[in-house]
């Protein structure tokens, strides 16, 4: 029947559209539908956040364990205040761990890497990591290098 | 002086045309269908004519554009030693720009022109008058289902275009050029965000669909009911539709991605 | 004279600056076949559209069954139109529906009848135009004459009080013309319908009309029974009826002021 076939094809068309949408969402943008994992928030202050943005990754040993929630300016200490959400299943980060702003590849995105400390106590909601290492800014590196080589001569 | 008069007259005419088209659109959408089942049946027919019949051209051009992008992107990116980023390039350019715009242009040429011609032919053969004589509003019976079908179809087609484009690019870059597929996907997933990229592309396509379908049905309804008039109206649909898409694309891009 | 079904009073209608009608008054009697004739381009079709209120006059009134159709609200107008059937010049069958669906369409749209009841009315109407066997064909599969008969069946599907025929004989072969003449007459007499026929086919129109109106140059130049029209001595009427190439309507198109100077 003519109209049944039409209806079937229209149904297939709409299904194809939805399937393509889901494909784009999951495979291309990496959107995880279980993304609403429970998290806890910790903070860190950096001298220079150098290109880190909200939603950047937070990693331990290269594995993503959370994301940057927000970045703001701490007026009293003149530092960049970074708040990040860590998945609750990673609940054993020692309080004396250090955190650094790293770059993926030569020109890639900035992300946070946590290096594990040795303390017995672990970070809780709202705690701060004090041992921070700022982003490497190319200009500063070059000028350091130039001044150093000037001294030695 | 004459130039000023001419300019004024042109602007007033233009304003009048836009106003008429606006009233036309409002009337055809607001005069809600009386019977639900009937209007669903009409809508499905139009979804078939507008959407399913445009599917082949959209899938084929999507695949080819993805493949070409992958080739071009690879040849440039490999100079910087970062050919893995071809996935990122592919996904971002398709989702943000190429899929909505190219799909809308194809849609104006394929579905828009046939909508105009079909409605124009109905006008020329007095079918529209005939509905009116039977006390059936042609805006509700003929125009509304076509308009709604167009607005539904174009965003869907645009998404299908993106997906086939990415798959086409994947085939070329991973299958042929030897890009590592893990790097291809992970770089793509890192840089593509669901709301800024996929949703913005979707919203673009939705805006284009309203404008293109509106132009198409209005040109058909207002055409001179002769074979020459229908031909002219069809040409106008494609020309006006394409220009409107490109101009609107600039405005939308500036609004969505313009704040750096 | 019998009571009028349609009364046209002082009708004026302009297309741009060109007057199609100027102060035209005419009446169309109830239950009769009225033929409105005139040369091409005098706006005969326009008159039907004015009666159906698809166009609005610049001046004057048109009363259909005592109601001024141009003063009605949209809803009331659609109600009045249900009592009108119109046979368009091109037939105007809906090309996406079969013959039976075309005829069923006004019934489905305006009545609450059951499916089987509608089906039997459709077959009945098709039978009355002699096309019962064509119910399942698509309009594109019909010949011109058949399409017009189907359109006629659709026009009478709702049993209207008034049927308007727009150039029903144009482009038809003699057999189709004969069939249409017979059908128009038969429908008019059986169902007591008022028929308005717009045509420039003199012979067919005079043969079925009870009342004739001849329009030319935006005015009514003759009105009356076919016999009185044929006996008319008005030169314009005589030229039209006999089809003489020269007369009050000149053979040579009059030169306008623009063309008078010739090419410079």
- Whether the pLDDT of residue B90 is over 80: the answer is yes
Does residue B10 sit within a domain? no
The token pair at B251 is 């405005």
- Whether the pLDDT of residue C26 is over 70: the answer is yes
Does residue B145 sit within a domain? yes
Q: Which of A104-118, B150-164, C229-243 has the highest mean pLDDT?
A: B150-164
> Which tops the pLDDT comparison, B170 or A38?
B170
Q: Which of B122, B130, B135 sits opposite C82 (nearest CB)?
A: B135
What is the tally of structural domains in chain B?
Answer: 1
Does residue C152 sit within a domain? yes
Residues contacting C181, CB < 8 A, separation 6+: C169, C204, C207, C208
Touching, C vs A (3+ Cβ pairs under 8 A): no
**B-chain residues near A16 (CB < 8 A):** 55, 156, 160
3-state secondary structure of C254: coil
Dihedral Cα C55, C61, C62, C66, nearest 10 deg = 140
The mean per-residue pLDDT over the stretch B92-101 comes to 93
- Residue C44's domain comprises 4-242
Touching, B vs C (3+ Cβ pairs under 8 A): yes
The token pair at B57 is 């051209």
Does residue C247 sit within a domain? no
Q: Do A17 and B160 touch (CB under 8 A)?
A: yes
Spatial distance between the Cα atoms of B167 and B163, rounded to a whole number of angstroms? 6
CB of A142 less than 8 A from some CB of B: no
Rounded to the nearest integer, the mean pLDDT of chain A is 82
B128, closest residue in chain C (CA to CA): C92
CB of A51 less than 8 A from some CB of B: no
Q: Do B135 and C94 touch (CB under 8 A)?
A: no
Number of B:C CB contacts under 8 A? 46
The mean per-residue pLDDT over the stretch C13-21 comes to 80
Q: Do C96 and B45 touch (CB under 8 A)?
A: yes
Spatial distance between the Cα atoms of B104 and B98, rounded to a whole number of angstroms? 10
Q: Of all residues in chain C, what percent carry a pLDDT higher than 90?
A: 0
Q: Which of B129, B135, B136 sits opposite C92 (nearest CB)?
A: B129
Interface partners of chain B (CB pairs < 8 Å, 3 or more) are A, C
Q: Do B134 and C105 touch (CB under 8 A)?
A: yes
The token pair at C107 is 């019934």
The mean per-residue pLDDT over the stretch C225-244 comes to 79
Q: Do B48 and A31 touch (CB under 8 A)?
A: no
Spatial distance between the Cα atoms of B48 and A130, rounded to a whole number of angstroms? 62
3-state secondary structure of B126: coil
CATH at residue C220:
3.40.50.300
- Could you say which residues from 107 to 146 on chain C have a Cβ atom under 8 Å away from some Cβ of chain B? 109-110
Does residue C264 sit within a domain? no
**B-chain residues near C105 (CB < 8 A):** 134
The span from the first CA to the last CA of chain C, in angstroms, equals 59
- Residue B137's domain comprises 40-252
Q: Do B192 and A7 touch (CB under 8 A)?
A: no
What is the tally of structural domains in chain C?
Answer: 1
- What is the per-residue pLDDT for B118? 93
Does residue B259 sit within a domain? no
Does residue B29 sit within a domain? no
**B-chain residues near C95 (CB < 8 A):** 121-122, 125, 127
- Whether the pLDDT of residue C137 is over 70: the answer is yes
Measured in angstroms, the CA of C106 and the nearest CA of chain B are apart by 6
Q: How many residues does chain C have?
A: 264
Does residue B14 sit within a domain? no
Spatial distance between the Cα atoms of B28 and B26, rounded to a whole number of angstroms? 6
* CA-to-CA dists, residue A10 to A4, B42, B142, B206, C96, angstroms: 10, 12, 19, 19, 18
- Whether the pLDDT of residue A35 is over 60: the answer is no
Q: Where are the domains positioned within chain A?
A: 1-33, 39-141
Q: Do C86 and B132 touch (CB under 8 A)?
A: no
Q: Do B156 and A13 touch (CB under 8 A)?
A: yes
pLDDT tens digits for A63-81?
A: 888 888 888 898 888 888 9
Does residue B100 sit within a domain? yes
Q: Do B51 and A29 touch (CB under 8 A)?
A: no
Question: What are B253-256's contacts with CB under 8 Å, separation 24+?
Answer: B253/B96, B253/B97, B253/B204, B256/B196, B256/B200, B256/B203, B256/B204
3-state secondary structure of C213: strand
Spatial distance between the Cα atoms of B174 and B156, rounded to a whole number of angstroms? 27
The mean per-residue pLDDT over the stretch C228-248 comes to 78
The token pair at B118 is 């079909």
Does residue B11 sit within a domain? no
Q: Do A55 and B193 touch (CB under 8 A)?
A: yes
Does residue B235 sit within a domain? yes
């Amino acid at each position: 029947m003519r109209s049944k076939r039409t209806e079937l094809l229209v149904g297939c068309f709409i299904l194809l559209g939805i399937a393509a949408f889901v494909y784009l969402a999951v495979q291309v943008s990496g959107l995880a539908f279980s993304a609403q994992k429970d998290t806890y928030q910790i903070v860190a202050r950096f001298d220079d956040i150098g290109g880190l943005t909200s939603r950047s990754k937070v990693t331990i040993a290269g594995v993503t364990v959370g994301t940057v929630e927000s970045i703001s300016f701490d007026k009293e200490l003149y530092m960049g205040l970074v708040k990040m959400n860590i998945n609750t299943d990673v609940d054993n980060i020692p309080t004396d761990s250090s955190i650094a702003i790293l770059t993926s590849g030569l020109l890639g995105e900035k992300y946070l890497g946590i290096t594990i400390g040795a303390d017995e106590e672990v970070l809780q909601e709202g705690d701060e990591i004090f041992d921070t290492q700022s982003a490497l800014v190319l200009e500063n590196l070059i000028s350091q290098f130039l001044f150093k080589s000037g001294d030695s001569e | 002086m004459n130039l000023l008069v001419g300019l004024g007259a042109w602007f007033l005419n233009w304003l009048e045309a836009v106003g008429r088209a606006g009233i036309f659109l409002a009337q055809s959408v607001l005069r809600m269908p009386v019977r639900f089942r009937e209007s669903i049946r009409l809508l499905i027919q139009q979804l078939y004519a507008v959407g399913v019949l445009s599917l082949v051209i959209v899938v084929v051009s999507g695949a080819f554009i993805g493949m070409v992008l992958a080739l071009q992107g690879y040849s440039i990116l490999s100079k910087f030693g970062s050919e893995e980023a071809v996935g990122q390039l592919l996904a971002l350019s398709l989702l943000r720009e190429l899929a909505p715009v190219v799909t809308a242009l194809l849609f104006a040429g394929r579905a828009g022109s046939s909508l105009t011609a079909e409605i124009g032919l109905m006008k020329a053969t007095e079918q529209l008058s005939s509905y009116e004589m039977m006390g059936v509003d042609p805006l509700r019976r003929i125009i509304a289902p076509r308009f709604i079908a167009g607005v539904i179809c174009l965003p869907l087609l645009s998404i299908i275009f993106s997906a086939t484009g990415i798959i086409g690019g994947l085939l070329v870059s991973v299958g042929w050029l030897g890009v590592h597929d893990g790097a291809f996907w992970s770089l793509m997933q890192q840089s593509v965000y669901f709301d800024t990229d996929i949703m913005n592309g979707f919203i673009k396509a939705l805006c284009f669909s309203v404008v293109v379908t509106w132009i198409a049905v209005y040109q058909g309804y207002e055409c001179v009911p002769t074979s020459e008039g229908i031909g002219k109206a069809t040409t106008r649909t494609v020309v006006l539709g394409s220009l409107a898409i490109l101009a609107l694309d600039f405005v939308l891009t500036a609004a969505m991605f313009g704040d750096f | 004279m019998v009571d009028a079904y349609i009364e046209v009073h002082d009708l004026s209608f302009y297309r741009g600056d060109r007057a199609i009608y100027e102060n035209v008054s005419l009446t169309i009697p109830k239950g009769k076949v009225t033929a409105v004739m005139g040369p091409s381009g005098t706006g005969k079709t326009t008159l039907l559209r004015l009666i159906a209120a698809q166009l609005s006059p610049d001046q004057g009134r048109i009363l259909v069954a005592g109601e001024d159709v141009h003063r009605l609200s949209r809803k009331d107008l659609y109600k009045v139109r249900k009592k009108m059937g119109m046979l368009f010049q091109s037939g105007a069958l809906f090309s996406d529906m079969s013959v039976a669906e075309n005829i069923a369409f006004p019934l489905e749209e305006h009545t609450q009848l059951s499916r089987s009841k509608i089906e039997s009315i459709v077959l009945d109407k098709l039978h009355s135009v002699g096309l019962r066997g064509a119910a399942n064909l698509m309009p594109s599969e019909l010949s011109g004459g058949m399409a017009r008969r189907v359109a006629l069946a659709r026009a009478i599907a709702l049993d209207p009080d008034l049927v308007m025929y727009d150039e029903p004989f144009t482009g038809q072969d003699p057999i189709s013309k004969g069939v249409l003449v017979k059908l128009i007459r038969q429908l008019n007499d059986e169902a007591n319908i008022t028929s308005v026929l717009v045509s420039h086919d003199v012979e067919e129109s005079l043969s079925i009309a009870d009342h004739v109106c001849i329009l030319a140059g935006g005015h009514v130049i003759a009105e009356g029974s076919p016999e009185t029209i044929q006996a008319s001595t008005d030169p314009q009427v005589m030229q039209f009826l006999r089809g003489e190439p020269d007369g009050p309507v000149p053979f040579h198109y009059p030169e306008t002021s623009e063309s008078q100077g010739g090419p410079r």
